[in-house]
Amino acid sequence: MLMSHYNLTYLSTGELLRKEIKEETMIGKKVKEQIEAGGLADDETIVKLINKVIKNQDSSDGFLFDGFPRTYVQAYILDGLFIRLQRSLTRIFILELSDEECTNRLLQRAKEQNRKDDNKEVIKKRLTEYHEKTLPLLDFYKNTGLLTYIDAGGTTEEIFSRIKHYVDEDLKKQTMNLVMFGYPGAGMTTQANKIAREFDLTTISTRELLQKEVDNKTPTGAYAKPYMDKGLLLPDEVVIRLIEKKLMETYGNNRGYIFKGYPRTLVQAYILDGILKKMGETINLVINLNVSYLELMKRLDERSRTKRKMPYDSSATRIIGRLEEHENYSEEVLKYYREHNQVIEIDGEGVIDTVYERIKEPINRAIRSLR
């Protein structure tokens, strides 16, 4: 049920081992007697099986480990696996049930699934192994805040509901940092604001930060105005300080950030990574709004006759110059993020709500993958 609801890859060491036994592989032959006697397969074997599954999957949003780790050594092995995956363990669920009820359920399973390892003698041994070797393992995670005890009595739906409550809470706590990317006129402001409202993100627009400085007649504003009027890039040290100030004012009051109009250069992409790293954060997703050149010209021309017009909207020549300037820098920035598999391409043409629906699902997928 967890696999289906959250698109997880299921890693049950027991099932993996039984599959090897059924297919009579070298590993299967090696562990057959151990498993049927209620013992544990050696760690080298377990690691090989888990590695095999991880290498062959790339479409899920996370992993659900069942029956692993079972020992202190395996807990360290799992840590190593997560380092390799560049992920972390989100939560550990301990399903609590009396030994008597466990025995009854396993004997019933033996009848339904013809499981040779589900007999009273083996069950007793497995429960002893659990109490002596597995439960002490919880000390490994004692101070991590990951341990969650679940009453495993009741119906399947009731138990799932208890687990789902915690998973959903974890998802709400995950921070998310996005970059909204596109040419002037692609609709970045409109879409960024909609995303920010729905996903509880703070929008950071370098242009808005600079405009505030201009409106307040600060020295920074006076310095920035000529650049802004022409749609030119300001020196990076000016923009960095404004972004850091905004982050300090808002950090912890939201679920993350959506950056609009920044980064505009490869250097700025590196700078943004550095700024976020200081906070223990990173960019999770770059949304690239694709709009045809002709459509951009039409939109910017229409905007020039509204209160939303930018200084560079004043003539076709200046509009073209602004578009060309963006083109000169944008490909390097996108290449940088594509190398990290962070870019999603979105068709930015059509009505606002249609474009937003195209954006929403990739964001939801990215949030699920943060697990």
The Cα-based distances of 304 to 191, 291, 316, 318, 327 in angstroms read 20, 18, 10, 11, 21
CA 13 to CA 45: how far, in whole Å?
10
The Cα-based distances of 336 to 51, 179, 264, 286, 329 in angstroms read 29, 13, 12, 11, 12
* Domain with 165 in it: 2-173
Domain boundary among 141, 157, 173: 173
pLDDT in tens, 212-224: 999 999 999 999 8
CATH of the domain at 288: 3.40.50.300
pLDDT at 39: 66
- Please identify every stretch of the chain with a pLDDT value under 50, giving residue numbers as ranges: 371
pLDDT at 203: 94
Query: Is residue 199 domain-shared with residue 155, that is, in the same domain?
Result: no
Instruction: State the residue for tokens 């920010």.
Output: 196
CB-count exposure of residue 237 (10 Å: 0-12, 13-18, 19+): exposed
Query: Is residue 161 domain-shared with residue 217, that is, in the same domain?
Result: no
Query: Is residue 126 domain-shared with residue 72, that is, in the same domain?
Result: yes
Name the domain count of the chain: 2
Who contacts 322 (Cβ-Cβ below 8 Å, separation ≥6)? 184, 231, 312
Q: Which residues pair with 345 in a beta bridge?
A: 288
Domain boundary among 173, 193, 215: 173
pLDDT at 314: 65
pLDDT in tens, 261-318: 899 889 999 999 999 888 878 898 999 999 998 888 888 878 878 777 776 666 677 7
**What pTM did the predictor assign?**
0.57
pLDDT at 271: 93
Query: Is residue 196 domain-shared with residue 261, that is, in the same domain?
Result: yes
Domain boundary among 139, 158, 173: 173
